[in-house]
Amino acid sequence: MTHKARKRFGQNFLHDPGVIQHIVSSIDPREGDCLVEIGPGQGAITKLLLPKLKRMQVIELDRDLIEPLAQTCGPLGELQIHSADALKFDFHQLTNQSNSLRVVGNLPYNISTPILFHLMDHLEIIRDLHFMLQKEVVDRMGAGPGSKTYGRLSVMLQAHCQVTPLFDIGPGAFQPAPKVNSAFVRLTPHATPRAVIKDQTYFRELVTQAFSQRRKTLRNSLRKLITDEIYITADIDQKMRPEQLSLEQFAALANAGFEACQSEDI
């Protein structure tokens, strides 16, 4: 397949056979799995997944890649291609069974975070996710409190999933080679949430606001959302900075703030 990578789609095609095999082994596809690949590109991973699965689905935005992909993978199994933008795609149309969908992909680095957040809205049907991402993003996804890389992405993803970085990938595995290192990561939705979150919208707003001014104390960055009384209720020191709070502490603060808002509305 000859296709020039397009910058506007963030395309960097994987071509290293060893890396591709390592990825497929990590996914461990089994016949009967309900698996969808985001951005199959030239089919480097698809060509190894499909024979093991017998049937799978892919979502591809670049229309010029769809026909060549269908021709290449046609003899390998049943491939259903969705010509769509993964950021706008409703993954519920792929299955109505909870905890069944497996999602994989070499995500365009320029839109990887929005895609991750979009998928968090479909978690009730997802069994696991395996993604190739910029290493810096994977580091942030799995970071803990006190780390320089700990932030909004860390808290929001870890609230919903176990984040497991699997292995790093150098630029030479891609064509064209990106200017950054990559990493392969697994996300597994929690069977039991790490923290009870009473209102996801309020929780998201609070975490986003806190890290938008991460050098400030909570008292200053959350002045419009959280009162002194709420800090006391949640047992949180308002002089702390956001990177010092654990997921559980963010949940406690958000729950106390949400309950205070509800009381005011009554």
Final residue before a domain boundary, out of 189, 224, 254: 189
Give the pLDDT confidence score for residue 163 in this predicted structure.
Answer: 98
Write the CATH number for 19.
3.40.50.150
Residue 206 lies in a domain: yes
Instruction: Identify whether residues 118 and 164 lie together within a single domain.
Output: yes
At 251, is the pLDDT very low, low, confident or very high (cuts 50, 70, 90)? very high
Give the pLDDT confidence score for residue 11 in this predicted structure.
Answer: 52
Contact 74, 5 (CB under 8 A): no
Return the amino acid letter for 88: K
The whole domain housing 230 covers 200-265
Residue 107 lies in a domain: yes
Instruction: Identify whether residues 11 and 76 lie together within a single domain.
Output: yes
The yes-or-no verdict on residue 10 having pLDDT over 50 is no
Instruction: Identify whether residues 145 and 244 lie together within a single domain.
Output: no
Assigned token pair, 237? 């020191």
Residue 194 lies in a domain: no
pLDDT digits (tens, 9 = 90+) for 161-193: 999 999 999 999 887 787 889 999 999 999 999
Instruction: Identify whether residues 234 and 154 lie together within a single domain.
Output: no
Instruction: Identify whether residues 73 and 163 lie together within a single domain.
Output: yes
Instruction: Identify whether residues 209 and 181 lie together within a single domain.
Output: no
Give the pLDDT confidence score for residue 41 in this predicted structure.
Answer: 86
At 31, is the pLDDT very low, low, confident or very high (cuts 50, 70, 90)? very high
Instruction: Identify whether residues 216 and 174 lie together within a single domain.
Output: no
* CA 151 vs CA 19, 235, 242: distances in Å: 29, 21, 8
Q: What is the mean pLDDT of residues 228-247?
A: 96
Q: What is the mean pLDDT of residues 247-266?
A: 89
Instruction: Identify whether residues 151 and 234 lie together within a single domain.
Output: no
Q: What is the mean pLDDT of residues 255-266?
A: 84
Instruction: Identify whether residues 177 and 218 lie together within a single domain.
Output: no
Report which of 198, 202, 203, 125 is spatially closest to residue 158, judged by C-alpha positions. Answer: 203
Residue 62 lies in a domain: yes
Final residue before a domain boundary, out of 133, 168, 189: 189
Final residue before a domain boundary, out of 168, 189, 210: 189
CA 137/CA 207 separation, integer angstroms: 18
Residue 171 lies in a domain: yes
Instruction: Identify whether residues 155 and 221 lie together within a single domain.
Output: no
Q: Which of 46-55, 82-91, 106-115, 146-155 has the lowest mean pLDDT?
A: 106-115
Write the CATH number for 255.
1.10.8.100
CA 102/CA 127 separation, integer angstroms: 6
Q: What is the mean pLDDT of residues 127-131?
A: 98
The yes-or-no verdict on residue 1 having pLDDT over 60 is no
Instruction: Identify whether residues 250 and 159 lie together within a single domain.
Output: no
Using a pLDDT cut of 70, give the percent of the chain over it: 95
Instruction: Identify whether residues 58 and 157 lie together within a single domain.
Output: yes
The yes-or-no verdict on residue 15 having pLDDT over 90 is no
Average pLDDT, the chain: 92
The yes-or-no verdict on residue 3 having pLDDT over 90 is no
Residue 17, classified by CB atoms within 10 Å of its CB into exposed (0-12), middle (13-18) or buried (19+), is exposed
Residue 195 lies in a domain: no
3-state secondary structure of 190: coil
* CA 67 vs CA 39, 81, 123, 206: distances in Å: 14, 9, 31, 45
Residue 2 lies in a domain: no
Give the pLDDT confidence score for residue 266 in this predicted structure.
Answer: 43
pLDDT digits (tens, 9 = 90+) for 60-116: 998 988 999 999 998 999 999 999 999 999 999 999 999 999 999 988 888 899 999
